[in-house]
Amino acid sequence: MSTTKVAPPKFNFNKRFNRLFNGVLNTVLLPLGGLLLLVIVWAAVATTTEYLPSPITTWHSAVELFSDPFYDRGMNDKGIGLQLWASLKRVFEGFGLAALVGIPLGFLIGRFETLARMLNPVISLLRPVSPLAWLPIGLAVFKAADPSAIFVIFITSIWPMVINTALGVASVPQDYLNVARVLQLPEWKVFTKILLPASLPYVVTGIKLALGIAWLVIVAAEMLTGGVGIGFWIWDEWNNLNMAHIIVAIFAVGTVGLILEQSMAWVANRFDYRKN
């Protein structure tokens, strides 16, 4: 009786190498190329004006600032790390309040059509208003800069959570709700067993959008309210005509925003059952 030998699978080196090279190219080389292009354009523009510092000058300023980012020498002399932390605290306070109000409100709007018809015009009217337009209202109500900035964060970051949550609840298939009605499930079980799991990806997406808006708004709000915070620090450095520090702050704000965005994107992907 003859036996047929099965040849072992061949190792495709070229295919593995191409896959590895494409991964390194897309995740490392191309992003570094984009950053290098930015630095080249920046250096070229800096040679045409005396007010814009070169990348090397800005790098030295960054090294100086981040060598001791958490020093505290009084109200108007704090390190850039403390300035960023003060801004982050305001963002999370306003964002947290918006989540406490916006997510339950979104569930109610998505669940009850009568409430949606009543509140949709209000949301459509207030949502396009510029964030800084709310600042005088906050100053008039709270009589202080810090709660006013938190109020601006609250009022501008609440809308993505309300809208996305309501959209998620409204997109739940009607068959699920019909089954719940036949089984005579109480409302809290409909919420925990049907609405919440089905709409969770929408809720997390709304949270992601709201957090990005909150971090975007806080810098402008702090420029107008003053006190401690990266926005006020940027404005103060402008008054001192220290452009290198301003550019360092811009990169610091962008880096923190990128970290927040990527963190929330990871959370959103973890809870998005549609990609599983």
Quick one: tokens of 202? 């929408």
Residue 168: what pLDDT? 86
User: The domain spanning residue 267 has which CATH number?
Assistant: 1.10.3720.10
**Res 15: pLDDT:** 67
pLDDT for residue 112: 85
| Residue 42, in any domain of the structure | no
Q: Is residue 32 part of a domain?
A: no
pLDDT attached to residue 12:
56
pLDDT of residue 226: 76
Are 273 and 202 within 8 A, CB to CB?
no
- In tens digits, what is the pLDDT along the chain, a chain of 276 residues? 455 555 555 555 566 666 766 766 667 777 888 888 988 998 898 888 888 899 999 999 999 999 988 888 877 778 899 999 999 999 999 999 999 999 999 989 988 888 889 999 999 999 888 888 999 998 999 888 889 999 999 999 999 999 999 998 888 777 777 777 777 777 777 777 777 778 888 888 899 899 988 998 988 888 888 778 899 999 999 888 899 999 999 999 999 988 988 888 887 777 665 555
215 lies in a domain?
yes
Residue 201: predicted pLDDT = 84
- Nearest residue to 39 (alpha-carbon basis) of 23, 16, 27, 56: 56
Q: Model pTM?
A: 0.80
- 79 closest CA partner among 194, 222, 248: 248
> What domain range includes position 244?
83-275
Looking at the domain assignment, is residue 252 inside a domain? yes
Q: Domain for residue 15, yes or no? A: no
181 located within any domain:
yes
- The confidence score (pLDDT) of residue 172 equals 78
Specify the number of domains making up the chain.
1
Tell me how far apart the alpha carbons of residues 34 and 28 are, in angstroms, rounded to a whole number: 10
35 inside domain: no
Q: Is 100 a member of any domain?
A: yes
